[in-house]
Amino acid sequence: MKHTSDNLQAKPSAAGEEDTLLNVCDLQGWYGESHVLHNCNLTVRKGEVVTLLGRNGAGKTTTLKAIMGLLKARTGSIHFDGTELINKQAREIARLGIGYVPDSRGIFGSLSVMENLLLPPKIADGGFELPAIYELFPNLKERLNSYGNKLSGGEQQMLSIARILRTGARFILMDEPTEGLAPVIIQQIGHTVRRLKSAGYTILLVEQNFHFARKLADRHYIVQEGRVVDEFHNNEVEANLEKIQGYLGI
Ligand SMILES: Nc1ncnc2c1ncn2[C@@H]1O[C@H](COP(=O)(O)OP(=O)(O)OP(=O)(O)O)[C@@H](O)[C@H]1O
């Protein structure tokens, strides 16, 4: 079902109540005096891959940061698997099983690949053990002793994803994983997202690369000026291509 921006705001939590994993309702957020998120509403169901699409500066990264507790000035409701996150700290939110792969990748240049991998603490059983990580990202196994600042952009991205998978988080927030990467690496990231989905992971993905996103996601939200203004199931994309391209300016 499609929504207009009005009824998305009026019925923030209408979709999929029974298997909803994340329900963001009337989320507002600020950087200091600057009001960036304006009543943002979205839901993610268990096992879905959902994208946030939008132009530069629309508020996609800020929405992920607000969910993760990295944007402190926020109001509204962020309900995750039975727990309200709005007043929780990032550390507590991570312990609930939410992993964040930032667009900056967050790799420590003066630590080795192995040290970077082992840095985030495990928060639950069932995460990827090292052999499974090497199987998913064979390049990393070859680079275990290399320093983070010697890695290519693609290797850094893989490391950033791998170390979150090791923690046992089952809900992954990924911010522009394909940014600046070569097509062959983008394919590998796409393969990883598919593998995770088939293993039951839930993923909220921020992407500028619509071509990449449309092949992976179950649903897409369009973000403009700090709010969700439209939503498309993947099977509605073809029929709404012009409209979506208009939103994204492509
Ligand atoms: N640390 C910050 N301090 C102040 N304003 C910020 C900060 N980070 C982002 N903004 C502003 O908040 C708004 C939303 O930015 P955000 O990074 O969430 O957008 P985005 O949709 O992720 O775009 P992009 O793809 O360019 O990262 C923009 O106007 C941006 O300039």
Instruction: Please identify, by atom number, the ligand 1 atom nearest to the C-alpha of residue 54.
Output: 21
**For ligand 1, mutation pick of 61, 179, 209, 227 (most atoms within 8 Å of CB):** 61
What's the number of CA atoms in the CB half-sphere (13 Å) around residue 130?
10
Distance (Å) from CA 36 to ligand 1 centroid: 8
CA 80/CA 43 separation, integer angstroms: 10
Residue 17, pLDDT score:
63
Mutation pick for ligand 1 pocket among 28, 31, 250 (CB with most ligand atoms within 8 Å): 31
pTM score: 0.91
Measure the CA–CA gap between 238 and 214, rounded to whole angstroms: 10
Nearest CA to ligand 1 atom 13: 57
pLDDT tens for each residue of 146-196: 999 999 999 999 999 999 999 999 999 999 999 999 999 999 999 999 999
CA angle 150, 100, 124 (to 5 degrees): 105
**CA–CA separation, 250 vs 233, rounded Å?**
19
Question: What is the spatial distance between Cα 49 and Cα 148, in angstroms, rounded to a whole number?
Answer: 29
Q: Whose CA is nearest to atom 30 of ligand 1?
A: 57
pLDDT of residue 250: 85
- Ligand 1 pocket, Cβ-based, cut-off 6 angstroms: 31, 34, 36, 54, 56-62, 208
pLDDT digits (tens, 9 = 90+) for 99-158: 999 998 989 999 999 999 999 999 999 999 999 999 999 999 999 999 999 999 999 999
pLDDT digits (tens, 9 = 90+) for 210-231: 999 999 999 999 999 999 999 9
CA of 152 to the centre of ligand 1 (A): 25
Ligand 1 centroid–CA 122 distance in Å is 30
Atom of ligand 1 nearest to the CA of 208: 25
Instruction: Inform me whether the pLDDT recorded for 14 exceeds 60.
Output: no
